[in-house]
Amino acid sequence: MADLDDIRDGKNYGVGVAQSCGGFFLKGSSHLDWGMKDRLSRIFNPVTGKTVMLAFDHGFIMGPTSGVERIDLSIVPLIEHADCLMCARGVLRSLVPPTSRKPVCLRSDAGSTILTELNHNVVIDVQDAVKLNASAIAVMVAIGDRETEAETVANLYQAVDEGQAFGVPVMGVTAVGKDMARDARYFGLASRVCAENGANIVKTYYTEDFEKVVACCPVPIVIAGGKKLPELEALELAYKAIQSGAAGVDMGRNVFQSDKPAAMIQAVWAVVHKGLSPKDAFQMYNDL
Helix axes 231-243, 278-287, angle to 10 degrees: 140
Decide: is 273 part of the binding site for ligand 5RP (CB under 6 A).
no
Q: Which of residues 194-213 bind ligand 5RP (CB under 6 A)?
A: none
Decide: is 84 part of the binding site for ligand 5RP (CB under 6 A).
no
Q: How far is the CB of 11 from ligand 5RP (least distance, A)?
A: 54
Decide: is 236 part of the binding site for ligand 5RP (CB under 6 A).
no
Q: Which of 131, 203, 240, 260 is catalytic?
A: 203
Query: Which residue's CB is nearer to ligand 5RP, number 236 or number 250?
Result: 250
Amino acid found at 11: K
Q: CA angle 173-176-177, nearest 5°? A: 130
Contact flags string 42-71 toward ligand 5RP, x per CB under 6 A: -------------x-xx--x----------
CB 242 within 8 A of CB 275: yes
227 has catalytic annotation:
no
Measured CA to CA, the distance from residue 170 to residue 42 in angstroms comes to 14
Decide: is 192 part of the binding site for ligand 5RP (CB under 6 A).
no
Give every CB contact of residue 125 below 8 A, 6+ residues apart in sequence.
162
Number of Cβ within 10 Å of residue 283's Cβ equals 14
Decide: is 143 part of the binding site for ligand 5RP (CB under 6 A).
no
Question: Number of residues in contact with ligand 5RP, rule: CB under 6 A?
Answer: 14
Measured CA to CA, the distance from residue 175 to residue 107 in angstroms comes to 13
Q: How far is the CB of 23 from ligand 5RP (least distance, A)?
A: 31
Q: How far is the CB of 184 from ligand 5RP (least distance, A)?
A: 18
Residue choice 37, 50, 240, 253 for contact with ligand 5RP (CB under 6 A):
253
> 32-37: long-range contacts at Cβ-Cβ below 8 A with a sequence spacing of 24 or more?
32/169, 32/200, 33/167, 34/167, 35/166, 35/167, 35/168, 36/167, 36/168, 36/169, 36/200
Catalytically active residues are 203
Footprint on this chain of ligand 5RP (rule: CB under 6 A): 55, 57-58, 61, 86, 173, 224-226, 250-254
